[in-house]
Structure 1
Amino acid sequence: MTTPSSPRGAERTDGASVVRIGALVPLTRPGWAEAGQHLLAGMELAVGEVNDAGGIAGRPLELVVRDTAADPQKAADAVDELARLGVAALAGEYHSVVARTAATRADALGLPFLCSSAVLDALTEQPTEWVARLSPPQSRGWQVYADFFLAAGHSRIAVAAQPSVYWATGTRILRDHLTPRGGSIVELDANALTPTALCDELADSGASALLLLVGHPDPAVPIVRAVRGDERLAKIMIGAPAGQPEFTEWATSLGDDAAAIPFLRYLPEHLTALGARVDETLRERLAQAPSFVAFEGYDTVAVLADVLHSQGVDRARTAASWPRVDVEGTRGRIRFSRVPGISVWQWARTPIQVVDRDPAEPACFRVLHVG
Structure 2
Amino acid sequence: MTTARTVDVGGEHPYTIAIGPGLAGDGTALARHVRGRHALLVSDSIVAPLYAGAVREALHAARPELAIGTFVLPAGEESKTLAHFGAAIDALATLGATRDACVFALGGGVVGDLAGFVAACWMRGVDCVQLPTTLLSMVDSSVGGKTAVDIPQGKNLVGAFHPPRAVFADTATLATLPPRELRAGLAEVIKYGAIRDARFFQWLEQERPALLAGDPDTLALAIAASCEHKAEIVERDPLEKGERALLNLGHTFGHAIETQQGYGGLGNDNLNHGEAVAVGMVLAARLSADLGMAPVADADRLESLLQAYALPTRIPAGLAADALLARMRLDKKNLAGRLRLVLWRGIGQAEVVPGVDEARVLAVLRAG
- State the TM-score, normalized to the length of structure 1: 0.34
- State the TM-score, normalized to the length of structure 2: 0.34
Query: Which of structures 1 and 2 has the larger relative contact order (alpha carbons within 8 angstroms, sep 6+)?
Result: 1
More helix by share: 2
Larger Rg: 1
